[in-house]
Amino acid sequence: MANYTFIDRYFESQRALLRLDTIEEHDVNSLFTYLNNLHSTADKLKELFDCNIKDYPDFKLLRIIRNYFHHVGDVDDIRMIVSIEENVHFDRVQHLIIPLETFAKSIRSFIDNSMVPENHKQYQKKLKFVSKEMASISECYSYNSDILTNMEVCCNKPSLKLDGEVYELGFDMYRFVFNVTNLIAERCRAIEELACNPIVMELGEEYSISNNIDRIDMFCTPDKMPITTTQGMIYARKVELAI
């Protein structure tokens, strides 16, 4: 009887990455391990069970970061509890933040590696593919088009001066990890060989696509609009360009 331990590796690495009791402890390997296990899980689900999660926008976004991490450069992350102020509501309790610069560089690396020169016979086909992938990612990340429009700025440590102090802008990965985990859980329950796996059977009912966090996951009044930085959410009264 096959054990299908790739599923165990996925859920164990996801738990290790997002466990609340270790939120103040930084493990330099957790994000790298999780992203590689996510990549492997998608491959094996497709190969063994013809179950495709690779078209899911959240997965595509995380895969782009994984490929940058695996092939190009490091991805530094920080986890913290969501900071809540009066008249602010978040549909999550913690952040998994990387520099916005890193995410922008991941997007640029994907585009550079996917495209060919304009005079190449495959140019239009490649352009159509890249455009489709970027449109898909924009379905789950509202500011993707802003990054594409301002790529050079976003790839060079984008920062703002908030109440007189300069902060580097951040990108919160938590929602995408949370949502793709719910997707994988549902797919596993629907596959007979995986549904009986103890780690799948132990998953609570909250592991469901119906509990996924929407693209708009924060509600606040105009005077309480937080800005995501590499130091968490900053509720600034005065926002200026960092020069």
Q: Give the model confidence (pLDDT) of 49-70 as tens digits.
A: 999 999 999 999 999 999 999 9
The percentage of residues in the chain with a pLDDT greater than 90, rounded to a whole number, is: 77
Buried b (16+ CB within 10 A) or exposed e, 100-130: bbbbbbbbbbbbeeeeeeeeeeeeeeeeeeb
Distance, CA of 27 to chain centre = 18
The answer to whether 179 and 213 have CB atoms below 8 angstroms apart is: yes
Encode pLDDT of 78-127 as tens digits.
999 887 776 677 777 899 999 999 999 999 999 999 999 999 999 999 99
What is the reported pTM?
0.94
Residues 6+ apart with CB under 8 A from 54: 42, 46, 60, 63
Q: Which token pair is 76?
A: 């530094």
How many residues in the chain? 243
